[in-house]
Amino acid sequence: MRALTWQGTKKVSVETVADPEIVNPRDAIIRVTSTAICGSDLHLYDGVIPSMQPGDILGHEFMGEVVETGSDSSLEKGQRVVVPFTISCGGCFHCRITQYSACENSNPPEKQDMSEKLYGHPMAGIFGYSHMTGGYAGGQAEYVRVPFSDVGPIVVPDHLDDEKVLFLSDILPTGWMAAENADIGPDDTVAVWGCGPVGLFAVQSALLMGAAKVIAIDHYPHRLELARQLGAETINFRTSDVREALMEMSGGIGVDAVIDAVGMEAHGFAVDNMLDIAKQTVGIGADRASALKQAILAVRPGGRVSVPGVYGGMTDKFPLGALMEKGLQLRTGQTHVQRYMKDLLGRIEEGEIDTTFLISHRLPLEQAAEGYRQFRDAQDSWTKVVLKPGG
């Protein structure tokens, strides 16, 4: 089959590789009909997530048709399914309390040592996301092996197009959980850093959860425009002082909750960020957390800090004093996708949520490398790329 493979920093290519097979009883094989490139993939593309190996197949946002099932799979051939990016067993302590992205059984034992050392606990398995999270082949391919297929994939009705449901695999639940983690009440003002797919879905979710006002921050005019179309107010961080603007826009109180939908590769020329860029470039492992730092300073005392943005290592000059002295609450994590899929599918079916506005480009899988390059370098207009295998 054909698959998009990582070959090194900023080097990806579509190659011919062996087809996947059923390996464990609960597996299923999916023929991928649609798959997307995620902001998280850019962290791999840029080489800032460790433990990638040349030849690794990328992609954790995918859906398709069930073509083969293991003896203990609950799926049936021919079903259309969306697959969550987090691989979860359904039976361990964390899965049972619906903290699916902390599944204890999905990362193979021999792959757990690195994250266990780095974070104190091993990470769960994730499709196409480095060997630290299991080294699972991803879905930017014609076929994927899906472990625990009786727990993760959700069957979608035929009348819903791929593009309406594909983002159930990651960014829609991620935006939703980000808003949920911000504990939004009816009078709240919520600020969202980053108007990429995750940030935009966080904006949409926060408004659905009843926020009085949502303020979205980015520097790309088109992405900011998309946020406005969803009903947000916006701040361009290139042209305005973000903290001052937020104080004024919240009547001097400060925003009630902040959402960092930027992650470890923040843009901008703030001094701390430039230093962090230098360190990340020479490989001394500092995450660029300038958006998060700004968010912590901007949120009101007693406010909530929600971090869907991905970080992988350490950061310098973290405003720990502000976190404590202002009595903030911090919530973060890889999304517990399985927890949200059913509810969000219902909202899509009822027309309450539309996700298709996000898609700017559709490419055949063969042009995936071009998709990566543009999604990284032409972010303003390339808001989301959907790849079509076999097309």
Partner 1 sequence: MRNEHPDRWASRWPYLALAGVGLAAIPLAAAARRRRREVDPDSAPGYTARRDFGDYRVVGRSVTIARPRAELFAFWRDFQNLPRFMVNLEKIEPSGEEPGHNTWHIRAPGGRVFAVDTRIAREVDGELIAWRSTEDSEIDTEGRVTFEDAPGERGTRVSLIIAYKPKGGAIGEAIATLAQRSPELQARHDLKRFKMLMETGEIATSARTRSERQHQLEEAR
Ligand X SMILES: NC(=O)c1ccc[n+]([C@@H]2O[C@H](COP(=O)([O-])OP(=O)(O)OC[C@H]3O[C@@H](n4cnc5c(N)ncnc54)[C@H](O)[C@@H]3O)[C@@H](O)[C@H]2O)c1
**Quick check: 195 binds ligand X (CB under 6 A)?**
yes
User: How far are the Cα atoms of 22, 45, 73 from residue 234, in angstroms, in the given order?
Assistant: 48, 29, 46
d(CA 260, CA 292) in angstroms, rounded, equals 6
Q: Which of 220, 246, 243, 244 is nearest to 233 (CA)?
A: 246
Near ligand X by CB under 6 A, which window of 26-34, 37-45, 74-82, 361-369?
37-45
Is 198 a binding residue for ligand X by CB under 6 A? The answer is: yes
Q: Is 119 a binder of partner 1 (CB under 8 A)?
A: no
Q: How far apart are CA 337 and CA 315, in angstroms?
A: 27
Q: How far is CA 314 from the centre of its chain?
A: 19
107 binds partner 1 (CB under 8 A): yes
Looking only at residues 322 through 381 of this chain, which bind ligand X when binding is defined by CB under 6 A?
A: 334-335, 379
- Is 91 among the residues that bind partner 1 (CB under 8 A)? yes
Collapsing DSSP to helix, strand or coil, 108 comes out as coil
Q: Which two tokens stand for residue 304?
A: 């909530």
Which residue number, 1 or 264, has a Cβ lying nearer to ligand X? 264
Task: Pick one of 268, 313, 319, 364: the residue that binds ligand X (CB under 6 A).
Answer: 268
Site for ligand X in 248-267 (CB under 6 A): 261-263, 266-267
291 scored as a contact of ligand X (CB under 6 A)? yes
Nearer to Zn ion (CB atom), residue 39 or residue 303: 39
Among residues 109, 251, 321, 351, the one that binds partner 1 under rule CB under 8 A: 109
Nearer to partner 1, 39 or 134 (CB): 134
Contact call for residue 122 and ligand X (CB under 6 A): no
Nearer to Zn ion, 93 or 269 (CB): 93
Tokens read off for 256: 């009630």
Nearer to ligand X, 243 or 347 (CB): 243
Could you say which of 6, 62, 136, 193 contacts ligand X (CB under 6 A)?
A: 193
Q: Binds 198, which of partner 1, ligand X, Zn ion, none (CB < 5 to 8 A, cut-off by type)? A: ligand X
Return the number of the residue (126 or 242) whose C-beta is nearest partner 1.
Answer: 126
25 or 302: whose CB is closer to partner 1?
A: 25
> Which entry of Zn ion, ligand X, partner 1, none binds 107, CB below 5 to 8 A by partner kind?
partner 1
| 309 binding ligand X? (CB under 6 A) | yes
3-class DSSP state for residue 126? strand
Q: Say which residue the tokens 């909750």 belong to.
A: 257
Burial class (CB in 10 A: 0-12, 13-18, 19+), 331: middle
Question: Which residues pair with residue 306 across a beta bridge?
Answer: 259, 331
List the one residue from 32, 36, 137, 224 that touches partner 1 (CB under 8 A).
137
Which of 23/278 has CB closer to ligand X?
A: 278
How far is 134 from 51, CA to CA, in rounded Å? 10
Give just the sign of the alpha carbon dihedral 265, 266, 269, 273.
Answer: negative
Residues near 200 by beta carbon (within 8 Å), at least 6 away in sequence:
175, 216, 223, 226, 227, 230, 358, 383
Q: How crowded is the C-beta side of 230, counted as CA atoms within 13 Å?
A: 34
Measured distance CA(289)–CA(239) in Å, rounded: 20
Residue 28, H or E segment:
strand 28-36
- CA–CA separation, 175 and 164 (whole Å): 16
* Interacting residue with ligand X among 56, 170, 180, 188 (CB under 6 A): 170
Q: Pick one of 59, 70, 196, 371: the residue that binds ligand X (CB under 6 A).
A: 196
Whole-number CA gyration radius for the chain: 20
Residues that bind ligand X (CB under 6 A): 38-40, 42-43, 170-171, 174, 193-199, 217-220, 223, 237, 261-263, 266-268, 290-291, 308-310, 334-335, 379
Residues that bind partner 1 (CB under 8 A): 18-21, 23-26, 72, 89-93, 96, 104-113, 125, 134-137, 145, 147-148
